[in-house]
Amino acid sequence: MTEFIRKRAANAKNDILSGITVALALVPEAVAFAFVAGVDPLVGLYAAFMIGLITSIFGGRPGMISGATGALAVVMVSLVAEGNAMGAPEEQLGLYFLFVTVILMGIIQMLAGIFKLGKFVRLIPHPVMMGFVNGLAIVIFLSQLGMFKDANGNWFTGTPLYIMLGLVALTMGIMFVLPKLTKKLPEALIAILVVSSIVIFGGFDVATVGSFIRDGGGEGLKGSLPQFQTDIFTKVPFTWQTLKFIGPYALILAAIGLIESLMTLNLVDELTETRGDANRECMAQGGANIITGFFGGMGGCAMIGQSLINIKSGGRTRLSGIVAAVLLLVFILFASGLIEQVPIAALVGVMFMVVIGTFAWSSFRILNKIPLSDVIVLVAVSSLTVIFDLAIAVIAGVIISALVFSWENAKRIRARKRIREDGTKVYEIWGPLFFGSIIAFNEKFDVKNDPEMVEIDFVESRVSDHSAIEAIYNLVGKYEAAGKKVKLKHLSEDCKVLLYKSNPKFREVIVEDIDDPRYHLAENPEAFTKGLAEYDL
């Protein structure tokens, strides 16, 4: 028991200090995303608290931070607007439709975890991951540029611009220099405290968290504990029409939330050289969104920028996320006045350092060393992340990679031909047989000019899908229609089962007696292992 506690307390200081840093950086982001979605800032802050706390405790990736995100907020804009249009302005029906949608979104995500769909994140190729990271860095950078505008949307000029740039540069300078002097202090938190002290005691008139909230139409950071939203059951009609309205939104939000969360999980895995549990994360994200919807939050998912701040500040265990979430609630309840004085410039400086640390600069070095198809995927995913959103970029990247993979494998089908002493023509098939290689496979055979006896050997080939089985079926039919005998050897067991099922006649053409030692090794794992032992590998 002592050893158990000691191991988990070893990083406690770093986790707590990192959690404080994350909590400070969470405030303006949660508020900004609430404004994007068209809801009150507290709706975003409550989501950041509840989702952050639940996923930190139950999620599949210790050290990962979750909360309200921009990717989801963009989708919520039209949902809230359409919902508000269904009733009087004072009813705020859009907000309650949002809560119900978030609950349904959570249910879908939990189902994804129950059916273990999280494992499909392993199918994401490395060029997609690298493109996603680069696109993400650009998106974070662009999102911070809005902080260089005043309440009227005009860019800072003159003295306000120079002060803003100076404070941002000071924050970045502290974060760059401090780790070179000592590793014991969290550079992001120290930078925020130093710059905040300069602004407060120096009397600088700059944008702060408080002014940011008020400029966006909010009344301030202070609030109460999240309340159970009983009005959901009275204001939202539980009818088929409601489900038709919120269903597509819930499905899109669930997909975006899971993709962003699982991509972040993969990224944190790489940074920490550990392995998270994707299916557990799906369950935790879904459960968190269900609870958040019932208690007045806007829903959310993993926050990539905040997760990177946490990891780079030393946060490694669940404690860092718990501290960040609880501290955020403390800010809302008791310390709103202090947090509202934190200058936006300090938080922008922290995010700029996250951008520098996030961007995969090595991608420039390897562009001329990797296949052209991977370069196209990398650039496409980066661009689509910036232009559209993460979900579209990742899905497009996976589709492009899959098509390239299929095309390359389609060209690898080969047929070695030879004539036996008895006059039988043997086709030895090499390479994968699937939908992409069917045309090339059919072109290997000369049904008209082949002898009376033909043997097709699949020992070096793998029959992968129904298209391949159909191609074999049609090929046998052509030989028989030409009055010739054909035998099939070394077909995989699953392929034989399907062929027998499709037509019992295949029992006459498939050779069951195997006389090739290579095939015995492939079919018998124990024999395969024994065979390997005979070689000095």
Burial degree of 256 (CB within 10 A; 0-12, 13-18, 19+) = buried
Instruction: Look up residue 34 and give its two tokens.
Output: 């609430």
CA distance 242 to 497: 47
CA distance 58 to 288: 9
CA distance 413 to 164: 62
The model's pTM is 0.73
Q: Where are the alpha helices (DSSP H) in 2-69?
A: 2-9, 12-37, 41-58
Is residue 363 scored above 70 in pLDDT? yes
Residue % of the chain over a pLDDT of 70: 93
Instruction: Look up residue 86 and give its two tokens.
Output: 């269904």
For residue 343, the SS3 value is strand
Is residue 4 scored above 50 in pLDDT? no
- Kindly report the number of other CB atoms within 10 A of residue 203's CB atom: 6
Query: What are the tens digits of pLDDT across the range 397-451?
Result: 989 998 998 888 888 899 999 999 899 999 999 999 999 999 999 999 999 999 9
Ordered structural domains, the chain, with CATH: 2-364 (no CATH), 411-533 (3.30.750.24)
Mean pLDDT, residues 518-529: 45
Q: Are 451 and 458 in contact (CB under 8 A)?
A: no
CA distance 398 to 125: 7
Q: Are 285 and 59 in contact (CB under 8 A)?
A: yes
Mean pLDDT, residues 187-207: 90
Range among 338-352, 433-447, 497-511, 515-529 rated most confident: 433-447
Reading phi first (left if > 0) and then psi (alpha if -120 to 50, else beta), residue 222 is in: beta
Beta bridge partners of 456: 427, 488
Who wins on pLDDT, 141 or 4?
141
Give the model's pLDDT for residue 497: 84
| Mean confidence (pLDDT) of the chain | 86
CA distance 289 to 36: 19
Who wins on pLDDT, 296 or 146?
296
The torsion angles phi and psi of 506, rounded to 5 degrees, stand at -65, -20
Mean pLDDT, residues 114-119: 88
Who wins on pLDDT, 245 or 357?
245
**Rounded to 5°, angle at Cα 429 from 426 and 432:** 165
Instruction: Look up residue 168 and give its two tokens.
Output: 């941002």
Radius of gyration over every alpha carbon of the chain, rounded to an integer in angstroms = 30
